[in-house]
Amino acid sequence: MHSMRSPHVTIVGAGFSGLVAARELEANGVDVSIFEARDRIGGRAWTDERLGHALEMGATWVHWMQPFIWTEIARYDRSIHPSPVADTAYWISAGQVHSGTEAELDAKLERPQTEIFAGSREFFPFPHDPLHILDSADADLIDRFRAADEGGVLDALRDGDFSQEEIDLADAYWSAGYNGHTASASPLMAKHWAALSDHRLSLLDEQTLRYKLVGGMRGIYEAIAADLRAPITLNTAVTAVAHTESGAAVTLADGTVVDSDAVIVTAPLGALDRIAFVPELPAEARAVIDAGFNSTGFKIWIKVRGHHSLIAYAPTGHPLALIRSEYFLDDDTTILVGFGPDHSRIDLHDPQSVQEIIRAWRPDLEVIETTGHDWVADPWSGQTWATPRSGQFLHGWSLFRDTSTRLRFAGADWASGWNGVVVDGAIETGITTARRLLADLRR
């Protein structure tokens, strides 16, 4: 920063990563402009009033072992509360419905999950540096690491002595976890999630499905936005990004060109095909954009009549892989949350069709209302949370981490740590991308 003029950085997207990057840059004397295609901030974190309750349309769960979001929770004096433990668990295997307690369901998952997690300790000795072993001198370990990025997440169970019930339970679990089809899901992501959870299934479940923010995610993303001086221009899509070694320019949907010293693009991978990059991104990165991530699924909220404390799993072939009770309302209704691998197989706003789906577990449940947001069909996301296809753990997110120009990428899709279901990775990249850019601007 040798000139008297303060540097100016344009940020594309006002989700967690964009807001945090703006805060970091402003704290170091950089002028920032933020352009957001949607009519709101938050990105794939979105707290909205639906079904008579504040509901998360996207990211939901947080944990004190997620270092970046926990810092924000402490910074803005927020608090958390637990999701309920279910009284009864249901799971479908070989066309039959089984039932028990949630603890019994968890116990049935332990053995197959241990096999799926195999190698997590040696592959990820430093979980927030997930490609660390590629720099090791252990050729055999590197070969096994590369091989573990191929195939599907359930492949480890195919040649063992695992029962169909165990395979179906793991299938349901990871159909929800990857929010996509397990056959095309890179096995390395499950092992990485295990490493981020001390290699314990119970802690993984705690981090991804147990604790929510009181007041919702908006309590954090609105607080970050309130700390900014930068203008946040909503309803303004960026259609092109020109980038050089010394600057960048973005073109807005109305044709306006905004010049700056750098640009940080926080759009998810699924929305990058809506932006023309000049010069074009490297061929490897473009191939990943064209293929998309494995996250083709959905999240749905379902209100049913009566008080029902349950969790239910179903394997591939069922539209809903997982449903669980989240809120018990004073009008004697229950709100369930559900996940499935294929957004095209459900109508998020059709209670009658959802009624037919959940009858597979409980024919007596009466669906009153349903809601959700189709993130895959949303042009500004094109996917749910980032989960890699076979081969994309090693040749996917990392291709967008470093550039030789003043174009930078930030967002949960590119995180070293939690680059999946939680917002921790979005905050991580907002900070790290901004700091690396600051070092470049100061040269």
**Is residue 65 situated within a structural domain?**
no
- CATH of residue 97's domain is 3.90.660.10
CA dist., res. 332 & res. 330, Å (int): 5
- pTM equals 0.96
Query: Which of 375, 400, 417 corresponds to the end of one domain?
Result: 375
Whether 251 and 395 map to the same domain: the answer is yes
- CATH of residue 226's domain is 3.50.50.60
Helix (H) or strand (E) holding 301: strand 298-305
**Is residue 1 situated within a structural domain?**
no
Contacting residues for 303 by C-beta, under 8 A, at least 6 apart:
51, 52, 329, 333, 334, 335, 336, 367, 368, 369, 370
Whether 170 and 266 map to the same domain: the answer is no
**Is residue 3 situated within a structural domain?**
no
CA neighbor of 11 nearest in space, from 193, 267, 254: 267
User: Quick one: pLDDT at residue 4?
Assistant: 61
Whether 403 and 268 map to the same domain: the answer is yes
Query: Which of 344, 375, 406 corresponds to the end of one domain?
Result: 375
Whether 117 and 189 map to the same domain: the answer is yes
User: Quick one: pLDDT at residue 433?
Assistant: 97
Whether 93 and 168 map to the same domain: the answer is yes
Q: Report DSSP letters for 124-141, one per residue.
A: -SSTTSTTGGGGSS-HHH
Domain that includes residue 124, residue range = 84-209+297-375
**Is residue 335 situated within a structural domain?**
yes
**Is residue 152 situated within a structural domain?**
yes
User: Quick one: pLDDT at residue 5?
Assistant: 78
Whether 261 and 239 map to the same domain: the answer is yes
Whether 317 and 366 map to the same domain: the answer is yes
Query: Which of 328, 355, 375 corresponds to the end of one domain?
Result: 375
Whether 150 and 278 map to the same domain: the answer is no
Which tens digit of pLDDT belongs to each residue from 212-253?
999 999 999 999 999 999 999 999 999 999 999 999 999 999
CA dist., res. 269 & res. 396, Å (int): 10
Task: Enumerate residue ranges in the chain where pLDDT < 50.
Answer: 1-2
Whether 323 and 176 map to the same domain: the answer is yes
Which tens digit of pLDDT belongs to each residue from 176-205?
999 999 999 999 999 999 999 999 999 999
**Is residue 229 situated within a structural domain?**
yes
Domain count along the chain: 2
User: Quick one: pLDDT at residue 203?
Assistant: 97
Which backbone phi and psi does 344 adopt, to 5 degrees? -80, -5
CA neighbor of 83 nearest in space, from 327, 255, 272, 283: 327
**On the CB side of 149, how many CA atoms lie within 13 Å of its CA?**
16
Whether 107 and 190 map to the same domain: the answer is yes
Whether 226 and 369 map to the same domain: the answer is no
**Is residue 352 situated within a structural domain?**
yes
Whether 245 and 259 map to the same domain: the answer is yes
User: Quick one: pLDDT at residue 401?
Assistant: 84
**Is residue 69 situated within a structural domain?**
no
User: Quick one: pLDDT at residue 146?
Assistant: 97
Contacting residues for 441 by C-beta, under 8 A, at least 6 apart:
1, 7, 30, 261, 262
CA neighbor of 387 nearest in space, from 186, 124, 210, 168: 186
